[in-house]
Structure 1
Amino acid sequence: MGDDENACVRNIVKEIIREMNPKKITVNKNFVTYLTKLLLINPNWGIGDDFFSQRQNVQHFVKYVIDDLLKVQDDPKIVTLKIQFYFSCNLERMDYAIEVNRRDLRNKLLVLKEDIFTFSKVEDRNDVDALYKKIVYYITLASGLGNPAKPKVFEETLVALKSILYESELNEFVTLSKQEKQIQLCQMTKVVAGIRLFDKDCDKGGEGIANLPELLDKAIHVIRGGTEETLLMIMERVNTLTTAVEKCYHLKQTYHGYQMICIIPDELSVKIADDIEYIKHLLIFFRQYELLIRKILDELEQINEKTELIFTNMEKMLKLIHETVYMKIAIPVGVVFPLFEQLWEIWEEFQNQGLLLSRLSMIMSNMETYAKHTRYDHLVIEHLLGTSSSLTDAERLEKTAQYKLVSDNPEIRVVRSEAIKNFYNLKLEYLGFCCWKLIETDGALIPGNPSMGIVIYKLKNYVFSCIEAFEEFCKDPEMYINCALDLSRRKPQLINFFQLKEELESVYNVEKLVQSKVELKMCEDKSLQTVHQATESFVDSTYKWNIWDLKREALTQANLLSAVTVSTQTIKTSSKNSVRAQTYNKKIVDTQTSKDRYTTMPKNSVFIYGLRGKKDDKQFKIDLTRPIDES
């Protein structure tokens, strides 16, 4: 990161901290810097080197960091980022921690060392005793072999010192230059410490010297036991959360292929729908926690192996020294002193391993504190699970172990896991989680199944949880890879979890990694026939289609305005005629929308026979109306 970018980050961090103070939000400044750098990998914030010309974007960024991330300290998103930052500052720099510890010790002893160097001459017994005392204190504290304030430790160290630095040689020592004094003091520290360790092995001394090999062995077993218990707790929650998320998302086949849709029971939709995203973030936290705990277990195993190797080397060195000094009155300094120095250097490695163990224990304790501060809502998860039991990763993978992936994409190759040497050392993209489901569910971590096959695309290895996920990935692998990068931009806790920082920096100039697809609307002609008519058929007897009939009716009604109503009552009814009614069964009629149709009803035609030319009153009607169903 260039100087301009660093200056921009510093200014943003200052503004974030300034805005946090009135809201009483306390966060480590280094963590705010770490978070800011992660978020600024996303170019969509619109913040570049020119800090002042992008003031509005910076204000929006600061508001997001404070309100959406830092304000809720127990949110799994922010806790995940915190343990990532804490872990990167501690476990990943263990060797540096040893150097810092040694440097701090040297700084604490700097005043004492300068007092030793200030001696320019030794005139009397008091000067001799004072110089010896200062050197003894320095050697004991620098080597970490006991407390020089204790008489036995002091006497033992003094005897060892006098065996390599006689009183007659003190005058020569004080006349040396400062650099020569420093070299000789360092050499004396190693030799005296080696002599004391050898005396301890011979049961002739070693007062105040702890049995480091035994203590380290006990500490390793205790820390490993606690770490494994923590891992069991984490895996129990991981299995529960993964099962709950899987139950919410279902595979659905559509016109374009497969997709994951979120289906929640109606009685839970109102309350649980808002918690699905939280559960996915919680799953990311525990998966990150699991990953870090497994790294600690690996570190413990390495420390254990190294401790055993150091112990073996120390036994060999002690045996060599015993063989060198056995039954000998005088031994050349050039022969035995290097052996004592090597013995001390081996012991110093023991001390380093002890320092690493104490640091691992501290890291474990602090990460447990972070985990306790994360809200874990048992009630929400139990509602989602219902009567279902949580599945372990092994049980989940066993369901799809019998399936085998076959690629029809020439750019994608599938290799069986059995055919890969050192498979467990093989790097899998997205830590072995299903890439397709990660995108479709917007961040759910569903483990892929290597037993179905390792998918190789552009020299990178992928695994999938089902055949449908693999088939969809094969259609456009670049799109899904870009979708994963875009998801990491929106969820910064995934950047270091999936180790995507370098890839995101390489596409920094690409603001839009994924082009949204426009869904095409498909139109089709459809016909529908119901068993029963939706509405009862009705024929309006007063309906007139002829305009002249309407005009005639209008004239009639106009004439009625000037007419007088007259009623006549006869004694007897002149005649009664029966009226015949003809009905027809309901006809199934097709209806087509968006097209013109017309209906022609037959015109009623009746002939009354016998009105003319007959003397009797026997008339009758003849129906001349054409039938409706006439073809």
Structure 2
Amino acid sequence: MDRISKIVADIIARCKYEGVEVSDTLAAFICRTAVQEDSNRFCLDGDVDSDGVAALTQRSVTSLLQKDSPSLETIKMQLDFDLCYVKHEEEVEKFRAAKAKKISNLHRSIVLLQPSGTGDFETLTTLYRQIFTLLMVHADAEKSGDRNIEREVAAALESVFPRIGLKSFVSMAPDDKKFQLKELASIVGGIRLFNKEIGKGGAGISLSLGPSHTIRDNVTSVSKLASEEVEEANQVCTEYTEVLLHIHHYNVKDNVTAERVKRWQEELNNKRQFLSYLQSLYEDIDVSTEKISRLTSSFDNELNTLKALVGSRTSLPKGQVYPVFEALAKAWDELEAEHQLLLARSRSIKSLMEFKDSFTRTLSPQSEWILKAKRAGMPPQEDWFEHSESENQPKNALGAVTRHEAKEGTADDSNGNDVPVRMSVDSTPEFMQLPLEYQGYCPWTIVQRGGLLLPGDPSLGVIQYKNAYHVFVNERALDEFMANPQLYVSAVHDFVVRKPELIYLLRLQESFPDTSMASLMKMTNNRTHVHPLLAPNAVQKVDAGTSTPIHFVEKNLDVNYEWNEWSLRRRAIKIANLRNYKTVSAQTTLSNFRKDVDQQVWLPTDNTTQTGHDKGTNPTKTITYFAGLRGTPSDKRASKYVDDDDEKESKDDDGRPAIVSYTFDL
């Protein structure tokens, strides 16, 4: 990693010493393409000696110090355009995200702010101020300090949502509060827009659809600029194509060298890349223009509705006018957002225009070769290259497909992806939506004509080979490709390795992942990080986890330590008892190879029992009660068990109650 970063830093330093400022992105890209061109010698994933590092650095510096090089300018344009395009888009998205975050935070604070009662004037005042701040954020005037904007927003707020309405607002549910805040912001914004249109306000609203026509003027100027540049670039590409076709078709050798033809093809590649970017931006601008036109019509309709409702009246029903204000504000927000995207694409066009004349054209519009090509006229497409032999015969490759193996079919043919299939308009319903390989350029001319980029003709048929769809300039190119498709696919890949500016022009990013510009866009501003273009392949990773115990075991503690003397006494008795134990072992003839088994037991303890003995006393029991309270029985009969003395006493009894006591010995 350190070696790679040092190589890039060395390349930048040496270029700076020569008076050429080179970005780390460009230096890393050139270094990576040099590695791909000679991967056997420069293997950054392995060990590279000092001579290899010096050679890699020198080759990269030589490529970067080229003067007036169309190939180098094409690479610079590719890097700069992709980075600038994403940068401008991210600026718009970043502004939107920051504004949305501020609004979300204010919504949260307003919802959570709850007064203690209706008499909590301090909290209610703070709540009203936060609502005012929210409206200022919606108006993009939070930090402007413009008193006119503050007065307009305050007046609109007091009109739509007076302070007396705070009592009902604080009693709402959180979701209802957020909904009310969104409606309030839209209504206040609609009021300010309406006041601007009638000339009674609208401070801070820079854009307009009124007399100045700011948005309409911007749309018209940007669309016109893109259209004119596309037309001009298309004309330049046509001139280069006519001259190169004239030279290749008629095999012209007088007054033109191979180096001059190669230079013209490099210039054509640069112009085609320039045209491709312009067309992409023009398509985006065209979509934005259509959307802005639709939003402008919607805005004008809502505005006219408001003017018809208001007229000369000073008051209107809220339920009738507020929805129109809200719709007006929403249409304006969408219109303003799309206008910001349009301006971002306009800045991308300005960045791209820096590469319009970044090198000296050797084929000027007044060149004699352009006049010759126009006088000779464009040859019929089916006769192209009939009078010339192929300049670069590709070497035979494995996996060649003979002519009789090729077949015709449709896009649904899934058997034999290695066999080319010729698809026509009649047999393929989605013919016009097929993603063409090499951005629609003919692979045969790239290989046979030294990198000449000519658009293929889909009407001849589309060749499906390995889930890729190829088009060709004529039947000859199509037939030769179908005879050996793998040969041409490999040859195009090898040619692009030597011409790295074609990687993104032909959209071969998947074939060259090390030069992916997506990784460039993710590059941070921290220069200490290794550039993704030069970073080695990622090492294999595995999932791993660690766990720690909740309670750590202290190693310095003696688990056998005892401080209690009774525990120590028990341990001493146990050790003393071990002296009286016997060790018994046995060994037989068959067990002499087995391990010794010892057994040690405690001595049996003395078992005793203890029973209880119940003992008690039984005292006498004396019972005392009154007798004769109900009188004596009339029939007095004497028991035969009564003694004579008792009988006498009973006779002497006069029948009065008496106290009787009995003593029982149990």
Q: In the aligned structure 1, how far is the partner of 2:492 from the partner of 2:366? A: 26
Which residue does the alignment assign to 1:348? 333
Counterpart amino acid of residue 427 in structure 1: P
Which residue does the alignment assign to 1:21? 16
- The partner residue of 1:442 within 450, 466, 484 is 450
How far off is 1:39 after superposition? 5.2
Residues 318-344 of structure 1 deviation map (CA, whole Å, 9 limit, x = unaligned):
689899999996657xx9988766653
Question: What SS is found at the alignment partner of 1:456?
Answer: strand
Q: In the aligned structure 1, how far is the partner of 2:305 from the partner of 2:274? A: 46
Which residue does the alignment assign to 1:264? 253
- The partner residue of 1:86 within 80, 87, 90 is 80
Residues 182-213 of structure 1 deviation map (CA, whole Å, 9 limit, x = unaligned):
99988765553233235456776434533259
How far off is 1:233 after superposition? 1.9
Q: In the aligned structure 1, how far is the partner of 2:456 from the partner of 2:380? A: 8
Q: Is residue 497 of structure 1 aligned with residue 492 of structure 2?
A: no
Q: In the aligned structure 2, how far is the partner of 1:375 from the partner of 1:343? A: 52
Q: Within 5 A, what are the aligned runs for 1:592-631?
A: none
How far off is 1:289 after superposition? 0.9
Residues 206-234 of structure 1 deviation map (CA, whole Å, 9 limit, x = unaligned):
34533259533332222222222222221
* Preserved CA contact (<8 Å) 1:449 1:465: yes
How far off is 1:38 after superposition? 5.2
* Preserved CA contact (<8 Å) 1:20 1:66: yes
Q: Within 5 A, what are the aligned runs for 1:23-172?
A: 23-37=18-32, 40=35, 42=37, 44=39, 46-50=41-45, 53-68=48-63, 70-72=64-66, 74-91=68-85, 95-103=89-97, 139-140=135-136, 142-144=138-140, 152-164=148-160, 166-167=162-163
Question: What SS is found at the alignment partner of 2:17?
Answer: coil
Change in 2 beyond 3 A, CA 1:506/1:473? farther
* Preserved CA contact (<8 Å) 2:447 2:495: yes
Number of residue pairs matched by the alignment: 478
Q: Is residue 248 of structure 1 aligned with residue 247 of structure 2?
A: yes
How far off is 1:456 after superposition? 2.5
Q: Within 5 A, what are the aligned runs for 1:209-608?
A: 209=205, 210-212=207-209, 214-250=213-249, 263-265=252-254, 268=255, 272-314=257-299, 331=318, 343-378=328-363, 382=367, 384-385=369-370, 387-389=372-374, 408=404, 409-410=406-407, 411-417=419-425, 420-421=428-429, 423-505=431-513
Q: In the aligned structure 1, how far is the partner of 2:41 from the partner of 2:168? A: 69
* Preserved CA contact (<8 Å) 2:264 2:363: no
Q: In the aligned structure 2, how far is the partner of 1:226 from the partner of 1:342? A: 33
* Preserved CA contact (<8 Å) 2:42 2:48: no
TM-score computed with the length of structure 1 as normaliser: 0.61
Which residue does the alignment assign to 1:608? none
Q: Is residue 194 of structure 1 aligned with residue 190 of structure 2?
A: yes
* Preserved CA contact (<8 Å) 2:233 2:271: yes
Q: In the aligned structure 1, how far is the partner of 2:270 from the partner of 2:70? A: 6
Could you tell me which runs of 5 or more consecutive residues in structure 1 were left unpaired when the two chains were aligned: 175-179, 252-261, 509-631
How far off is 1:157 after superposition? 1.8
Q: In the aligned structure 1, how far is the partner of 2:33 from the partner of 2:375? A: 34
Q: In the aligned structure 2, how far is the partner of 1:184 from the partner of 1:218? A: 36
Q: In the aligned structure 2, how far is the partner of 1:154 from the partner of 1:435? A: 64
* Preserved CA contact (<8 Å) 2:187 2:325: yes
* Preserved CA contact (<8 Å) 2:187 2:326: yes
Q: In the aligned structure 1, how far is the partner of 2:285 from the partner of 2:228? A: 15
* Preserved CA contact (<8 Å) 2:509 2:515: no
Change in 2 beyond 3 A, CA 1:196/1:470? same
Percent of aligned pairs with the same amino acid: 21
How far off is 1:300 after superposition? 1.3
Q: In the aligned structure 2, how far is the partner of 1:173 from the partner of 1:11? A: 64
* Preserved CA contact (<8 Å) 1:9 1:37: no
Which residue does the alignment assign to 1:258? none
My pick for the range that moved more, 290-299 or 191-200, is 191-200
How far off is 1:363 after superposition? 1.8
Counterpart amino acid of residue 307 in structure 1: I
Change in 2 beyond 3 A, CA 1:240/1:306? same
Q: In the aligned structure 2, how far is the partner of 1:444 from the partner of 1:423? A: 26
Larger radius of gyration: 2
* Preserved CA contact (<8 Å) 2:234 2:275: yes
* Preserved CA contact (<8 Å) 1:247 1:385: no
Change in 2 beyond 3 A, CA 1:96/1:32? same
How far off is 1:494 after superposition? 0.7
Residues 130-155 of structure 1 deviation map (CA, whole Å, 9 limit, x = unaligned):
99899768744653489965554442
Residues 340-386 of structure 1 deviation map (CA, whole Å, 9 limit, x = unaligned):
66653432221222212222222222222211222112369935456
TM-score computed with the length of structure 2 as normaliser: 0.59
* Preserved CA contact (<8 Å) 2:441 2:471: yes
* Preserved CA contact (<8 Å) 1:190 1:341: yes
* Preserved CA contact (<8 Å) 2:421 2:464: yes
Q: Aligned Cα RMSD in Å?
A: 5.1
Q: In the aligned structure 1, how far is the partner of 2:21 from the partner of 2:374? A: 40
Q: In the aligned structure 2, how far is the partner of 1:232 from the partner of 1:458? A: 35
Which residue does the alignment assign to 2:605? none
How far off is 1:481 after superposition? 0.3
How far off is 1:8 after superposition? 6.8
Which residue does the alignment assign to 2:608? none
Q: In the aligned structure 1, how far is the partner of 2:381 from the partner of 2:142? A: 56
Change in 2 beyond 3 A, CA 1:310/1:407? farther
Change in 2 beyond 3 A, CA 1:101/1:148? closer
* Preserved CA contact (<8 Å) 1:8 1:50: no
